[in-house]
Structure 1
Amino acid sequence: MKLQLTSLALGCSTSKELCARFATVNPETAFTTQNAYKWVRGKATPRLSSVYEDWARILGGGLTASFIAASSFDEFAQMIRRHLPVPDSALTKLRHDHPSPPAPAAPASGPAADSPMRPPSLRPNQWLAGDYLAVSLAWSQLKTGNLILGRAEIAPADGGDFTIRYTESLFGQDVTMTGAMLCDGRTAQAAVRCSLTLRLYFFALRAPAPPANIIGGILSGAALHDFEARAVAGRIILIRDHLKRGDPLHRPSYLAASPELLDEELDHLGYAGDPQRMAASRRLLALLQAPPPHGLIEMPPDALGALGLDFDRIAPRIAHAGG
């Protein structure tokens, strides 16, 4: 429905014309005629984040790739109509052609209500779930300039939310932080409690577009091994682990800020080994180390989006499936 509404708003009468609009912003776009046939008819959903980035560029108006991917149809329509002409009659026809499914009935009490045969419901932002290598700059004054490698696990929770479990190994001791994660389609935020100090730490992440090979944002809190418990915040990148080994080849630890060493870690996650992977390593380091503008520590959306495209190109082929 979002793609059909996009066609109407842009004045495209055929999928071929819509493909041409995507090609104007990215000659190598994955929005090809073959894929458009499936996607516009709802037979499959785009999973490449580059498709959503291209989509945001042709629509303009400040729309982001993550919003296009995660928003409801009504939210999407409301945003488009702020700067593109869409007649009420067109929206009425779209809703008539694609009626919303009836609301599910309240579950009955008793054993049948907990039957494992009930089909699972589709979760918004479901692509967030997964195992990740977390990369950030070290907070310890003894390790200034190094990276800290951590492990992050994001899992679905009751009520449509998520949980996050983040682990670092500091001076030979594993430190775990856990908490609930809330995602509104644009941001993914979590307040986590440290198992060692019982202090709170805060993740402010940008919700990714599928297939969510990376998630970027800010981690803030107080330095663990610091007498003064300095208040610290820094950029953090979560990189999806496609191999999901039971015993990962990398351990949460400090690492010299070297693109060569980071490239080795990406190999342990299943990303393709070629010059593009080294380029992704260099871009990731540059993003983490970039000086904060105007004294504010932020995760620049454009830089993060470019990094996401780098990782989409080197991700295992299964992550590039169009269906």
Structure 2
Amino acid sequence: MDNRRLLSRPSQLRDFGAKLRLTAMLFGCDNQKALDALFREADPNTDFDIARSYKWMQGRAAPRSAKLYEEWARLLDAGRSSEWLATCELDAFVAALEARHGAAAAALRTAIASSPDDAAPSGQDGFLPGRFAVYSLAQSPYYEGRFIRSDLALGPSNPAEPGHPARLGETFAGVRAVWSGLIEESAQGLSGELRNENGALSPSYLALVRPTLPGSLLAGLQTGFVSLQPGAQRPFATRIAALRIPDLAVDRLAESNRYLEDETGIAADLDALGLPIGEAPGFAEDLGRWLRQADERDGPNRVSEIASLVEIADRLWLRTL
């Protein structure tokens, strides 16, 4: 198979990236390692390359290996050739999966916000922008042991700027503080420095695990300086988890920022924001445990495996669509 035609068309590259992300979603793969394992189940000598797959899924490049397309076609089992798989339009791809996998694939059409008559190919911008409820451990000594709920807004990237416009808001001591800047994408993940909009507080830095479609949970680390404490500000690093919320809850997201006593507060907050938390017993407890975790292997300031949290967050988000 000659892939030069595929590689020469930006629209087909975007379609290719979306098709690979939808494949990962169909089979429950929440990261590149899981997708690599899926291909290796089909062929231990697969040509799937984890390092290159980041660019593939972003629609910035496509594999040249004909063997990889053949492996992919076998995995999908949709009765289509590897050549068709490489060059078909996104809507036709989803339709083929619906015909073969039924309800499991039907949710994919909702995830890409397309209809039978209107394909919606997109790159990373197609699912990353949105509004998120952010949870982390409170760093102020006045609220030790509690969680702080903040809000995050991510906008579409601009070709003239190297990242997604971001605004992170918190409320403490009766004051709303907002940090803004650009969150940039790399092969490793998402990261960026956000500066306080009125200049009174220190910057905040985010380093997040690269999300996959539908981007329901952004998890990683936040570093900065404690704003509410006696004496001089001291530096901190904490785990954070940002959950995408439905549009109907956007208007009340910022105004409901606050400290939460414990994991039951996280559950109640997610429920109030329109995520069907009742369908995922134990999720809030697991999320709180992950935020507090400082296991011996990873240490307190590294991000350990989050696959199980991502899977449940995806299911909760898709139930809102």
> How high is the TM-score relative to the length of structure 1?
0.65
Distance 1:244 1:318, change over 3 A: closer
Cα distance between partner residues in 1 of 2:284 and 2:85: 48
Name the counterpart of 2:154: 154
Name the counterpart of 2:292: 289
Give the deviation of 1:73 after TM superposition. Answer: 7.0
Distance 1:49 1:308, change over 3 A: farther
Distance 1:121 1:256, change over 3 A: same
The answer to whether the 8 Å contact 2:29/2:35 transfers is yes
Cα distance between partner residues in 2 of 1:74 and 1:243: 32
Give the deviation of 1:42 after TM superposition. Answer: 5.8
Equivalent position SS for 1:156: coil
Distance 1:254 1:69, change over 3 A: farther
Distance 1:43 1:147, change over 3 A: closer
Equivalent position SS for 2:308: helix
**Residues 1:213 and 2:200 are matched in the alignment:** no
Name the counterpart of 1:233: 237
Cα distance between partner residues in 1 of 2:21 and 2:146: 43
Name the counterpart of 1:223: 226
Name the counterpart of 2:176: 174
What percentage of aligned pairs have identical amino acids?
17
2:87 maps to amino acid: H
Matches within 5 A, 1:1-323: 45-46=22-23, 48=25, 51-53=28-30, 55-59=35-39, 63=50, 67=54, 70-72=57-59, 74=61, 98=87, 122-159=122-159, 161-184=163-186, 186-196=188-198, 197-226=200-229, 227-248=231-252, 251-258=256-263, 260-276=264-280, 278-293=281-296, 295=299, 297-300=301-304, 302=305, 304-317=306-319, 319=321
Cα distance between partner residues in 2 of 1:202 and 1:129: 18
The answer to whether the 8 Å contact 1:217/1:235 transfers is yes
Give the deviation of 1:52 after TM superposition. Answer: 3.0
Equivalent position SS for 1:309: helix
Give the deviation of 1:50 after TM superposition. Answer: 5.5
The answer to whether the 8 Å contact 2:147/2:259 transfers is yes
Q: Which runs of 4+ in 1 moved over 6 A?
A: none
Cα distance between partner residues in 2 of 1:203 and 1:168: 15
Distance 1:180 1:52, change over 3 A: same
The answer to whether the 8 Å contact 1:223/1:229 transfers is yes
Distance 1:155 1:49, change over 3 A: farther
More deviation, 184-193/51-60? 51-60
- Structure 1 regions of 5+ residues with no counterpart? 2-38, 85-92, 101-119
- State the Cα deviation string for residues 210-268 of structure 1 (Å, max 9, x = none): 1111100000011112322111000000000114435326611111122x221111112
Cα distance between partner residues in 2 of 1:43 and 1:256: 41
Cα distance between partner residues in 2 of 1:71 and 1:157: 13
The answer to whether the 8 Å contact 1:139/1:223 transfers is yes
Cα distance between partner residues in 2 of 1:198 and 1:315: 33
Equivalent position SS for 2:29: helix
- Structure 2 regions of 5+ residues with no counterpart? 2-15, 41-47, 72-81, 90-119
Corresponding residue pairs, total: 247
Equivalent position SS for 1:298: coil
Equivalent position SS for 2:262: coil
Equivalent position SS for 1:274: helix
The answer to whether the 8 Å contact 1:49/1:308 transfers is no
Q: CA RMSD in A?
A: 3.8
Equivalent position SS for 2:252: coil
The answer to whether the 8 Å contact 1:149/1:252 transfers is yes
Give the deviation of 1:198 after TM superposition. Answer: 4.5
The answer to whether the 8 Å contact 1:125/1:183 transfers is no
Equivalent position SS for 2:274: coil
Give the deviation of 1:173 after TM superposition. Answer: 0.3
Equivalent position SS for 2:256: coil
The answer to whether the 8 Å contact 1:70/1:125 transfers is no
Cα distance between partner residues in 2 of 1:44 and 1:141: 42
Equivalent position SS for 1:139: coil
Distance 1:74 1:274, change over 3 A: same
Name the counterpart of 1:11: none
> How high is the TM-score relative to the length of structure 2?
0.65
